[in-house]
Structure 1
Amino acid sequence: MRITIDIPPDIEEKLLKKCEEKGVSPSQFILALLEWYFLKRYQAKPLEISELVAYAKKIGSERMKNCKYSDGKFCMLESLDDVFEERTPEPLNIYKCLFCPNYVDRRREKRRESLKVDENMINVAKLAARFVVELYGDKLGYRPKLKVEEDEVEKVRKLIEDW
């Protein structure tokens, strides 16, 4: 195959200087450049795939450790299904856990328990928000559909005093 390349004169001078410094003919330099380009291009894909596999392993192992239904060795849901079908339970696999539709993070439940809010606090916040909307809604360009009644204001005062 024969390839012809038109190179601008200023780049041609620099290319010839580089070839003279390296002791290579311009045609050999272009061939080496093409080999480098295609070799680099084909080597980039396996690197991306290996990065993806490494990340998938990391996330899968994290899911395996933190799943609500996992004890680190077996998935309780799969083991239960295996018992009913009279098969021996299979140990966990990182990739199974990665794509598991039944995954529930046990750390999330711990966070929810630590963030439980008192019901009185929620009621105070709701009534206070309604009160603020009624007072400042006109300035903000919002017209509420419901008006805050005086007995609700008294409820807020009592809740705040009791709290």
Structure 2
Amino acid sequence: MPSSGQIITQELQLASTIFTQLQSDTSNFEGRKQQEAQLVAHVKRIIEEPIEQLREQLSYDYLRLLVDILHYACDKSLFALQESTVNWHRLRAHHILYDLAISHHRLPSSIAVDSIQRKGKDPIGSGGSSSIYMGYLCGKPVALKRIRIFSPQPISKVTVR
């Protein structure tokens, strides 16, 4: 009998095959809906596992793939196509996406561009919540915006005068 890690890996490989086909084929609406339903079935089996188990048993490359597939499924509202446990699977997918983004510093590849080269170390401009840098994407100049995230200080650290 295959281990839980092998089952997760197998489900992810099957989901990956369908995910690749969905990204390349934009025709045949009915066939696409069927592929999306198959993708959701595999994703549901994966996300029912504890997050710790996913982190421990999947390699970095598989975790990157899982982030991309979960983002695609959430972005396309694929869980809404199912009736019974819509909210649980959608919320669970978002929770896993958030957890993997924090623990592995990995955003979905559809919203992060890795091939940009930053020019220099200092920003060319800055404001209250972000800094602007000069960079290059495919040899063309681009502006890069680095957003600063602020969190409230705990009450114990706030001094009252």
Under a length normalisation based on structure 1, what TM-score does the superposition of the two structures give?
A: 0.22
- Please identify which structure carries the higher strand content: 2
- Please identify which structure carries the higher helix content: 1
